């Protein structure tokens, strides 16, 4: 069965949409019409198919079982995109893929069949929730695709958590649940177990590397969703693919929150909560990860008086201060692109 050649496992809101979008533009790479399949974190756990369909068609939404709502919206977007791209005459391959995804019971064979359209090209998908799979679930992934390339993006935890919260607010608005966005929304959101787990980067890396080691996994630090160049990233993701054949890089952000500032109290709160994690990340990866620690140390030792900070934080005075403090050994005028190019460098 043609299981995918690579998996982009996260982290959520760390540039996975941008990377998946650019990889899909390479003529030697095939990715599904939907970015996130959610097989190993959701569909593989489903009960018998009829019960599964009843769950997916349920109109309600709970924080404990968000996937049915996501699946319905994902399905609507898929069908709309098919009609839009095809001028009301769907392409047979894409339409058959959609029917397979929407109507067949999930199984390992079903999952593998979703990549049959690759036709000899390198294939893969991006589901950020795979980063927080339990060890037994990662073992299952490895059993099915031991040679897959595993890719994990990291982003400043302070920014990632805020971006993730903004995404949740958008979802609440789509569901007509704006009243839940009260004064304590951020406090509750940042404490959710899944949200915390998605920010424990080292825990995710260690769990996946127990099975894939370092030769089959790539990790890096992402500033924004434009943190890498596909011409550099693609060979690391999919071997024997010519980066020169790629289309021009899509520089725009993908699936990004359109905010230019972040409330200072939130930034300080997150800096305090994740300072220990940031110390470990800085020691482990250095480079741009040390900027994350610099942000936390400055925000906690001397909180700014301003009500808001520039967002993302590398557009604030914190970046200039950090770059200056690194001296001759630090980034030069081209330092930002040098830091960005680390995003898929093997650790």
In a domain, 149, yes or no: yes
pLDDT at position 323: 92
Q: E strands of 169-326, at which residues?
A: 217-222, 261-263, 308-310
Rounded CA separation 285/90 (Å): 46
In a domain, 295, yes or no: yes
Rounded CA separation 104/125 (Å): 19
pLDDT at position 66: 76
Q: What is the Cα 15 distance to its own chain's centre?
A: 6
**CATH code for the domain in which residue 38 is found:** 3.40.50
pLDDT at position 127: 96
In a domain, 250, yes or no: no
96 and 224 share a domain? yes
Least confident of 55-64, 143-152, 320-329: 55-64
- What is the DSSP code (8-state) at residue 65? B
Q: How confident is the model at residue 236 (pLDDT cuts 50, 70, 90)?
A: very low
pLDDT at position 345: 34
Q: Is 184 helix (H, G, I), strand (E, B) or coil?
A: coil
188 and 272 share a domain? no
Scan for tokens 């009301």, then name that residue.
88
Q: Is 30 helix (H, G, I), strand (E, B) or coil?
A: strand
pLDDT at position 245: 65
Which tokens sit at 130?
Answer: 């795979």
pLDDT at 223 over 70: no
In a domain, 145, yes or no: yes
Most confident of 20-24, 62-66, 250-254, 309-313: 309-313
CA–CA distance from 149 to each of 146, 237, 303 (Å)? 9, 6, 41
Intra-chain end-to-end CA distance of the chain, in Å:
30
CB of 13 closer than 8 Å to CB of 241 = no
127 and 175 share a domain? yes
pLDDT at position 200: 97
pLDDT at 265 over 90: yes
162 and 302 share a domain? no
Q: What is the Cα 149 distance to its own chain's centre?
A: 16
235 and 302 share a domain? no
In a domain, 256, yes or no: no
Q: How confident is the model at residue 347 (pLDDT cuts 50, 70, 90)?
A: very low
In a domain, 139, yes or no: yes
Report long-range pairs for 329-337 (Cβ below 8 Å, ≥24 apart): 336/223
273 and 231 share a domain? no
pLDDT at position 249: 53
266 and 239 share a domain? no
Least confident of 20-24, 41-45, 116-120: 20-24
- In total, the chain counts a number of residues equal to 347
CB of 261 closer than 8 Å to CB of 308 = yes
Give the domain-ending residue among 245, 270, 295. 245
Give the domain-ending residue among 219, 245, 271. 245
In a domain, 222, yes or no: yes
pLDDT at position 102: 85
The number of beta carbons lying within 10 Å of the beta carbon of residue 57 is 10
> What would the pLDDT profile of 133-149 be if each residue is shown by its tens digit?
999 999 999 999 999 99
101 and 200 share a domain? yes
pLDDT at position 52: 67
What is the count of structural domains for the chain?
2
Q: Which carries the bigger pLDDT value, residue 288 or residue 62?
A: 288
Q: Which carries the bigger pLDDT value, residue 299 or residue 346?
A: 299
In this prediction, residues 337-347 reach a mean pLDDT of: 34
pLDDT at position 46: 78
225 and 105 share a domain? yes
Q: Which domain holds residue 313?
A: 261-344
Instruction: Return the CA Rg of the chain.
Output: 20
36 and 174 share a domain? yes
222 and 299 share a domain? no
pLDDT at position 57: 73
142 and 43 share a domain? yes
């Amino acid at each position: 069965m043609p299981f995918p050649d690579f998996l982009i496992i996260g982290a959520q809101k760390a540039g996975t949409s941008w990377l998946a979008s650019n990889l899909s533009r390479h003529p030697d790479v095939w990715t599904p019409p939907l970015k996130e399949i959610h097989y190993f974190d959701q569909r593989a756990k489903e009960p018998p198919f009829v019960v599964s369909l009843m769950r997916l068609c349920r109109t309600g939404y709970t924080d404990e079982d968000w996937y049915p709502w996501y699946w319905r919206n994902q399905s609507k977007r898929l069908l709309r995109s098919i009609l839009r791209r095809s001028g009301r005459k769907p392409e047979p391959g894409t339409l058959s893929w959609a029917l397979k995804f929407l109507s067949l019971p999930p199984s390992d064979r079903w999952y593998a069949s979703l990549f049959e359209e690759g036709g000899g090209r390198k294939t893969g998908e991006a589901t950020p929730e795979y980063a927080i799979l339990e060890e037994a679930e990662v073992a299952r992934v490895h059993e099915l695709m031991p040679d897959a390339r595993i890719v994990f993006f990291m982003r400043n935890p302070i920014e990632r958590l805020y971006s993730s919260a903004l995404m949740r607010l958008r979802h609440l608005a789509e569901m007509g649940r704006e009243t839940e966005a009260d004064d304590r929304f951020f406090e509750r959101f940042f404490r959710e177990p899944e949200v915390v787990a998605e920010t424990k980067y080292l825990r995710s890396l260690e769990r996946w590397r127990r099975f894939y080691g370092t030769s089959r996994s790539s990790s890096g630090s992402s500033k924004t969703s434009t943190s890498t160049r596909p011409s550099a990233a693609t060979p690391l993701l999919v071997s024997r693919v010519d980066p020169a054949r790629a289309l021009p890089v899509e520089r725009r952000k993908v699936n990004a929150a359109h905010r230019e500032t972040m409330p200072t109290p939130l930034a300080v709160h997150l800096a305090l909560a994740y300072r220990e994690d940031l110390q470990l990340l800085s020691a482990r990866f250095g480079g741009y990860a040390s900027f994350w620690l610099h942000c936390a140390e400055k925000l906690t030792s001397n909180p700014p008086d301003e009500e808001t900070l520039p967002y993302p934080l590398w557009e604030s005075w914190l970046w200039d201060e950090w770059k200056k403090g690194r001296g001759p050994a630090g980034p030069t005028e081209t330092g930002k692109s040098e830091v960005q190019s680390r995003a898929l460098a093997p650790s």
